[in-house]
Amino acid sequence: MKGCLLVLLTLTMVGCAKTQVHLYGRYLQPEQIQQVTQALETEGYQVQVNRLAFPADIHQSSLVYSLMLKDVSKLDSVMAASASQGWYVHNVTAMVKGNHWYTKDSMGLFLLPEGVDPSDPNAAENMSFNYQSSGCEQSPGLQLSDDHTFRIQPVAEVPFDADWHQGTWKLKESVYLELTPKADPTWSYYLELQRSTETDQLGQAEVIRLTPMRTYLMFGKCSFEYGVRS
């Protein structure tokens, strides 16, 4: 009897397993992510949000699904839920886009606002990350936002008020990052921008490295890095 109950419970759990939707929110505002997530969850999906880079061949809102998807009618359901929030999926593709694979009962939903080019490495959305310190013992941080504002977590005991820790940023000549603090719009920090592909035991990663072009007390002797596995 106990064995029968265990089998019944297992089957019930499998039958109730929710289809996963991986929502790529790199180019979405927080409120947009919340709205789409809620619409999908209302339809019974398990939503996982990430800020990963789009595959190179996706240039419009797309839905990528696993060939192991148990119910293909869910494709229409996901597209309808997205459309209810003003996001219209223009491309539906099975199995793989670039290096993004989907297994089991899952889908990847890529939502792209009008006018955003995910293939442009210099687009604000493709540089807006939390950069971690590198090459130093201290651990300052640098956050670039897609509204072209920045925030610095400085090294300890820096004698500057908060308006030196925040301000606006812009990319110059594709190789220099200029940070203009709120405290003084006539003065800026300058960092050199480098991109590289690095390989380790886990595979390849696309790395953005920001190196101060002079010594700033705010940064100590640190550079900054952000990496995304391809």
Of 132 and 198, the structure prediction assigns the larger pLDDT to 132
**pLDDT (tens digit, 9 = 90+) per residue, 208-228?**
999 999 988 888 888 999 987
User: Positive or negative, the Cα torsion across 41, 45, 50, 51?
Assistant: negative
Task: Give the whole-angstrom CA distance, residue 51 versus residue 161.
Answer: 31
Confirm if 201 and 218 have CB atoms less than 8 A apart: no
pLDDT at 100: 59
**pLDDT (tens digit, 9 = 90+) per residue, 106-164?**
899 999 998 888 888 888 888 989 999 988 877 788 999 989 999 998 876 777 788 98
Confirm if 107 and 75 have CB atoms less than 8 A apart: yes
| Residue 126 DSSP SS3 | helix
Look at residues 223, 212, 217 and name the one whose alpha carbon lies nearest to residue 160. Answer: 217
**pLDDT (tens digit, 9 = 90+) per residue, 49-65?**
988 888 878 889 999 99
Domains of the chain and any CATH numbers: 19-110 (3.30.70), 124-229 (2.40.128)
pLDDT at 97: 53
pTM equals 0.67
